[in-house]
A = this chain, B = another copy of it.
Amino acid sequence: MSQTVYDVIGVGNAIVDVIASCDDAFLKAQKIEKGAMTLIDETRASELYGAMAPGKEVSGGSAANTLAGIASFGARGAYIGKVAGDELGGIFRHDLNAAGVDYTTAPLTDGPLTARCLINVTPDAQRSMSTFLGASVFFSGDDIDADKIASARITYLEGYLFDRDEAKEAFVKAAEIAKAANRLTSLTLSDSFCVDRHRAAFRQLVRNHIDILFANEAELVSLYEADGFDEALDAVKAETRIAAITRSEKGAVLIDRGETLSIPAEPVSKVIDTTGAGDLFAAGMLTGLARGHDLETSGRLGAIAAAEIISHIGARPNVSLKLLAETYGIEIGD
């Protein structure tokens, strides 16, 4: 095994979020599926943006949010993902580096703009995402830094990458490098519609390559085309070592070698924006596992990070998660 340099390396779609408020009538008029992530092309992105309320631009991307959270816990993280050489790409790079994440993937020199996710947040704090993938899927095997992956305790892969073949290849290459280096691999299913689009490929990947699976209830049920949550849980127990199934305000169900553990959600005084709740649950869980904490403590770190993120607009932490964890009596350690 190579020398350990990183706790976690993430591979994902490098995306800048454009966050605006809207009402339910707006979602209906724009034919946006509430709570889901829908892929859109550049023309539609331009049209939808024109109709949206004034926005805030913040760096996003599911795995990138997770890595920013891991760095906030004081763990060592790296990220692989593709932006264009434009202003939003510069913003994405700055924000990840400034968060303390190693991120050096070369920008796309000839191709579409940096990816953007148009997020409309309704008064019930639900986010509905319309994503123009742009440059983010134009990365190839050459962008997968084998040395970095081999030196990371956990390689974390974002299911959204399955939406384009070019990115999927890079994805599988990363998983294979990690396995060859005797490292752990982790996957988040990202979105139930994404699972629906790529069910067979996901099931094969989970069965053959993945040690730690993240999903929410809908995604897990979709993966196994199960009749309910319990049936889906039984299916995943047979196929992965560790799984973390997030259930919004009901907390999370963790599985480790067939054993089941429930983690309650951390109470929050007011839910402002649920964007990034799953990403940050993964950040806490992966930090805990990479630093040798037990399953329950790792799950609690996930719940703590998720509670912080839904208490404000945006999917990256506003406070030091390391210090926040300490207020719960959890020292991250080295």
Q: Which residues from B are CB-within-8-Å of A53?
A: 98-99
Stretch at the interface among A56-64, A225-233, A244-252: A56-64
**A88 interface hit (Cβ, 8 Å):** yes
- How does the 8 Å CB contact mask read for A96-128 relative to B, with 1 for contact and 0 for none? 101100000000000001000000000000000
State how many angstroms separate the Cβ of A117 from the closest Cβ of chain B: 14
**A316 interface hit (Cβ, 8 Å):** yes
- For the complex with contacts A54-B95, A55-B91, A57-B57, 13 further pairs of A-B residues with Cβ separation under 8 Å are A50-B94, A52-B94, A53-B98, A53-B99, A54-B68, A54-B98, A55-B58, A55-B94, A56-B57, A57-B58, A57-B91, A87-B88, A87-B113
Stoichiometry, as copies per complex, reads 2
Please report the C-alpha to C-alpha distance between residue A91 and residue B18 in the assembled complex, in whole angstroms.
10
**A49 interface hit (Cβ, 8 Å):** yes
Which residues 257-271 of A sit at the B interface, judged by CB distance below 8 A? none
Q: A87-B87, A88-B87, A94-B49 are in contact. Are A59 and B68 (CB under 8 A)?
A: no
- How does the 8 Å CB contact mask read for A173-194 relative to B, with 1 for contact and 0 for none? 0000000000000000000000
Q: Are the CB atoms of A54 and B88 closer together than 8 Å?
A: no
Most buried by B among A57, A113, A316: A57
